[in-house]
Amino acid sequence: MRKLGKQEIEDIAVGAALLGTGGGGDPYIGKLMALQAIEEYGEITLLDVNEVPDDALVVPSAMMGAPTVMLEKAPGGEEATAAFKNLEAYLGKEIFATMPIEAGGLNSMLPLALAAKLGLPVVDVDGMGRAFPELQMVTFYLDGIAATPMVLADEKGNTSLLSTINNVWTERIARAATIEMGGSSMIAIYPMTGKNLKESGISNILKLEEEIGKSIRLAKQNNADPIKEVLKKANGFELFRGKVSDINRKTETGFARGVATFEGINEYKGETLEVRFQNEHLLAQTTDQRLLCVTPDLIAVLDAETGLPITTEGIRYGARCVVIGMPCHPKWRTEKGLETVGPKYFGYNVDYVPLEELVKKGVTA
Amino acid sequence: MRKLGKQEIEDIAVGAALLGTGGGGDPYIGKLMALQAIEEYGEITLLDVNEVPDDALVVPSAMMGAPTVMLEKAPGGEEATAAFKNLEAYLGKEIFATMPIEAGGLNSMLPLALAAKLGLPVVDVDGMGRAFPELQMVTFYLDGIAATPMVLADEKGNTSLLSTINNVWTERIARAATIEMGGSSMIAIYPMTGKNLKESGISNILKLEEEIGKSIRLAKQNNADPIKEVLKKANGFELFRGKVSDINRKTETGFARGVATFEGINEYKGETLEVRFQNEHLLAQTTDQRLLCVTPDLIAVLDAETGLPITTEGIRYGARCVVIGMPCHPKWRTEKGLETVGPKYFGYNVDYVPLEELVKKGVTA
């Protein structure tokens, strides 16, 4: 158990946005919400997953929807509380703690803000070890844990409590409701026991986020190369350096979908990289069909100078970026893991090859 | 209080389909479900609205979705029970009785089948006195009664419990969920007290349906003109006689929308009538712009020979039909009533004129 103060929040926000692989919402808004909650309600208690009693009820809190919409329609805080309280009433059991469902600028921060407000601890665990765009894309799903009962709440005061036969139906019905609610909603989902979490969650995710964020901050202070520091902390590989030459993005069926194109610079000159995304970056491939990294492995786009992560909605024409890859959690490399979040699921006609093998083949040109 | 047996069900089914103005679902499927339920569980108790205690909880049961989909995806019965039981559990109070939300082939019958199954009485009241396509289009809405908490259930086992800030949001979010559930769902909605019902419901609707159905049945037995008998019972007017020359129908955004065209016969020869619908018939106008009847007044299309009502999805090329009009309940002719279900709401660029005035101007050519 330890306390999270302002510096920890700052670092976690940066690291979470990086592991959010372009999605998971705007890190700036998320950070402000968490900082303001600490200001108002005091520091947040962070629990190790082993500190949670086996029978305790833990409920992740998250925002659902396209990050492009979240930018224009920031959550007020009331809807997260409403979703949480409705689910608690329905389950008839007190919620012991909350947690993030994924790593991401907004979705790592929102549970912290909610925890501060409600005086609950946060558990250092998530269900992805990164961000993914759909509700069933969590390790809990791989382990047969139900997403429902879940509650969606919007900023107007509408709520919807879902019980579904499986987590793919949860995603479908909740997505339809979220789109109708204006493109984003706050959700309380995957109510779990401490035992579920220990068996199925990805532990120490906030710790990792904090270390990544801290390494970028310290690199700046020490005039060191932030990219190098990040790669060390995140066990990652540099894949490409380039300037954004095109960004094609649209919000459809509740997601931000598109492709960002980078013209190579330095040793990558002459090559062109395309990064495809659905909320998150999912596929990095050169225009001559050389695969650099593909989902479920992590693709992050960093500012070449500051090392700070750039979200899909933050990619701007002309920006100089470094694209890095990081291996995903081993659970995603199983058969069911790849069925759930592999390239085929997203409609990409490539086979999954682990990042480490692609790197061996010579990712760096 | 009285009992409804098989003959009553047969008659109600016909009358309900007629007042359903083309919508409210297939009368044949609805009738079979109600008859089967009586067969299995015994006759149904029908209560007058004045026999319901003021504080008793009454919950309408209905199918939501496009009738075109309902035809292919008939409800099994389990989903109606699930919706009802979920809502009862949420409200923490026993449901005293059920009732139809509207008149219609399926939506007048389904509450009867559910009542038989659950051993509950049915109250002789509805919220439209006809059928309308959207959830807020009930007299309860005009009187400020909330549609939620409501529950949607599909045949797969998914349920969604909604609480919304107003009934227009109920319609929007429930419609989105229904579309995602495959185009139709069973709903338990507008939980009300006996007092609510007495003040806001349209009483004796099942009685009227039964009388209309009976008049058609007896006309056949007595070789009388069924159309004349119906017009007498329903306080209606003959508007047109014609042969279906075109039927344009598509299922979009969860509704069956389209237009049926009739070439005049007998005294209407030389005229062409277009009947526009969104699940229900909403506008009857000749191609030379003579308005015959418009929502909220009722437009029914009857088989010229048998007098039996034809639903929008049952209209067939070449069929000889009589189009009749009936005045709506006075609540629909108020300012809020016309805002909610008048021609402008449905996007028709005509002013509402009460049927009786149109008739005076000379509806019959």
In this complex, the residue of B158, B161, B175 whose CB is nearest that of residue A169 is: B158
Distance (Å) from the alpha carbon of A334 to chain B's nearest alpha carbon: 28
Q: Model confidence over B188-232: pLDDT tens digits?
A: 999 999 999 999 999 999 999 999 999 999 999 999 999 999 999
The first and second tokens of residue A100, run together, are 């993030």
Helix (H) or strand (E) holding A191: none
Torsion of CA A50, A148, A151, A103, to 10 degrees: 50
Spell out the domains of chain B, with CATH numbers in brackets.
Answer: 2-203 (3.40.1610.10), 226-362 (2.40.390.10)
Residues B129-185 have pLDDT tens digits of 999 989 999 999 999 999 999 999 998 999 999 999 999 999 999 999 999 998 889
- Give the Cα separation of A11 and B331 in Å (integer): 61
B interface test, pick of A78, A159, A253 with most B CB neighbours within 10 Å: A159
Three-state SS for A41? helix
Which residue do the tokens 């389909």 mark? Answer: B17
pLDDT at B242 over 60: yes
The partner residue sitting opposite B160, judged by closest CB among A156, A160, A165, is A160
pLDDT greater than 80 at residue A25: no
Question: For the segment A43-90, what is each residue's pLDDT rounded down to a tens digit?
Answer: 999 999 999 999 999 999 999 987 666 655 555 678 999 999 999 999
Mutate to test the interface with B, among A85, A152, A162, A167 (most CBs of B within 10 A): A162
Contact (Cβ atoms closer than 8 angstroms) between residue A84 and residue A41: no
A175 touches chain B (CB under 8 A): yes
ipTM: 0.77
Scanning B179-218 for CB atoms below 8 A from A yields 179-181
What are the backbone angles phi and psi of residue A138, rounded to the nearest 5°? Answer: -135, 155
Check CB contact of B78 with chain A, cutoff 8 Å: no
Q: Is A162 close to B158, i.e. CB distance below 8 A?
A: yes
Mean pLDDT of B285-311: 96
The dihedral built from the CA positions of residue A11, A16, A19 and A22, taken in this order, carries a sign that is: negative
Compare CB distances from A177 to B86, B163, B173 and report the shortest one's residue. Answer: B173
In this complex, do A169 and B156 lie within 8 Å of one another by their Cβ atoms? yes
Mean pLDDT of B359-364: 69
pLDDT tens track for A182-227: 888 999 999 999 999 999 999 999 999 999 999 999 999 999 999 9
- Quick check: B227 and B322 in contact, CB under 8 A? yes
H-run or E-run covering B62: strand B57-65
State the Cα–Cα distance between residues A292 and A288, nearest whole angstrom.
11
Q: CA-CA distance, A3 to A1, in Å (whole number)? A: 7
Cis peptide before B133 (omega within 30 of 0): no
- Choose among B343, B346, B352, B336: nearest CA to B141: B336
Q: Hey, of B164, B173, B185, B253, which one would you mutate to test binding to chain A, going by the most A CBs within 10 A of its CB?
A: B173
